[in-house]
Amino acid sequence: MQPSANKPAVRRVVPVVKPLTAKQMSGAISGALLAATAVLVPSAAVAVDTCHGQAATISPDSNGRLTGTPGPDVIVAFADQRVDAGAGDDLICVVASTPGSDVDAGPGDDTVDTTRSFVATVVSLGEGEDTLIGGRGEDDVYGSAPEGLGEHGINPLDTERDVISTGGGDDKVFSGSLGSPNLDKLTTGAGSDRIDIVGLDHTLELDAGPGTNTAIVTLSATETTAWVVDEAKRSLHFDEATSHWKGDVQRWYFTLAAGSTPSSLVFLGTRTDEQAFVSGKGLVPHFRMGGGNDWAGSLTTPGGSFALGAGHDRLTLGKYDDINVTFPIEDLRVDLRAHRARFGPIESPVWGVEELIAGASLVRAFGTGGGEKITANGCDVAVWGRSGPDRLVRGRDVISLCGGDVNSRIYGGRGNDILWGSQITDDLLVGGPGFDRARGMSGTDTCYTEVARGCELP
């Protein structure tokens, strides 16, 4: 098309575009990618620095410590950060992929959430009605202080209701305080968990979940009390009332708090493998372990009854007290064939024992004639295996308790026996008829066996 005669011709100007150099092209592409990343991916602070949808209100100091105010705070803690939330009803979330986070929730009705932590976290809930929501990591949760630390440690006494749910992982929970009803609700989820309970009260709600779990229970009594723990029914009975727990607890350790009135505990086991121990002055046990390969023990108080049932079972009577450096039981005589144990003048029935561990100032232990393992520890120790293939062991050395007056004698009897001496004392190891082996260990040991090692005489 030609231009009109009465209009001026329009001159078209085409701009000249110079090609970019390689360096300019690289910079342009990098800038575009960074801009796109900033648009498409939110910053870490926006994505993570919230707790239950609320923005964090506390920032860490130069040491990485997060210190709350006297009022309600929202705190997000990352790996290896210490939280001192202070008073107020606080909301605390732990986000960590490396261990080291430590949370002190302080007074107030607090909520602590560790579901975004995949490693070990230590949490002290403090005073108030608190809530713990755990995740897959290992949570150590102090609803209370271990006995004796409540007034002087970082963990105050636990007198109000806490709701603790630890989720997965091998968790530890400390709940309750002496002199106050235990009102807590505990759910430990999957994993091999340890639950420390002070005050086994009917008000306590416990769901141990699946896994191989351990309950360490501190009992107290101002008057004589008879506790009955029934594993099959998952029930606790005392004071004419019955309550129940949920989940699996295979290991029980009961102790009677100092100053309590002497009482008793009946433990009824099942056909599965279980452990049950009692300690504390004045707590007399009555074990009915049922089937399975069980381990039961009475560590400090004479008396009781011990029926371990079918299976390969182990019984511990007495112990060496590392703290008080003494034997709580003075005189212990156990005859497995006669089905009895004598604690001085007190006699107790003993049934279904394949392994015996005995500890007292004076120990006399006798096998059944069918073949057992017997370990004896004390100042004056004598063990007779009788017939059968026995394994007889002189236990831990306690020469410091005995004033140097230590006697150690082991007699295998008939059968092919294995005899072990002690690490310090001079032992007499006599095998008897059969092919016997002796290991004298330290000291000047006298051995009469077919095979002898570490023996100086004859």
Position 323 scores a pLDDT of: 62
Any domain includes 31: no
How high is the mean pLDDT of the chain? Answer: 87
Whole-number percent of the chain with pLDDT over 90: 71
Any domain includes 188: yes
pLDDT at position 154 over 70: no
Q: Give which of 189, 191, 46, 166 is closest to 112, Cα–Cα.
A: 166
Position 406 scores a pLDDT of: 84
Structurally, the chain folds into a number of domains equal to 1
Structure tokens that stand for 58 in this block: 């506390």
Higher local confidence (pLDDT), 20 or 133: 133
Amino acid letter, residue 195: I
**364-389 pLDDT tens trace:** 999 998 999 999 999 999 999 999 99
Any domain includes 45: no
Distance between CA atoms of 455 and 427, rounded to whole angstroms?
9
Any domain includes 159: yes
Any domain includes 327: no
Q: Give which of 104, 106, 154 is closest to 127, Cα–Cα.
A: 106
Position 327 scores a pLDDT of: 87
Any domain includes 335: no
Give 254's contacts (C-beta < 8 A, 6+ positions apart). Answer: 217, 219, 227, 265, 276, 277, 278, 279, 280, 283, 285
**302-348 pLDDT tens trace:** 999 999 999 999 999 998 665 666 789 999 999 999 999 999 999 99
**247-306 pLDDT tens trace:** 999 999 999 999 999 999 999 999 999 999 999 999 999 999 999 999 999 999 999 999
- Which domain covers residue 159, as residue numbers? 101-268
Asked if 395 and 371 count as a contact pair (C-beta separation under 8 A), the reply is: no
Any domain includes 165: yes
334 burial (CB, 10 Å; 0-12 / 13-18 / 19+) is: buried
Any domain includes 200: yes
- DSSP lists the bridge partners of residue 205 as 185
Residue 152, Ramachandran bin (φ over 0: left; ψ between -120 and 50: alpha; else beta) = alpha
pLDDT at position 189 over 60: yes
Q: Is the pTM of this model over 0.95?
A: no
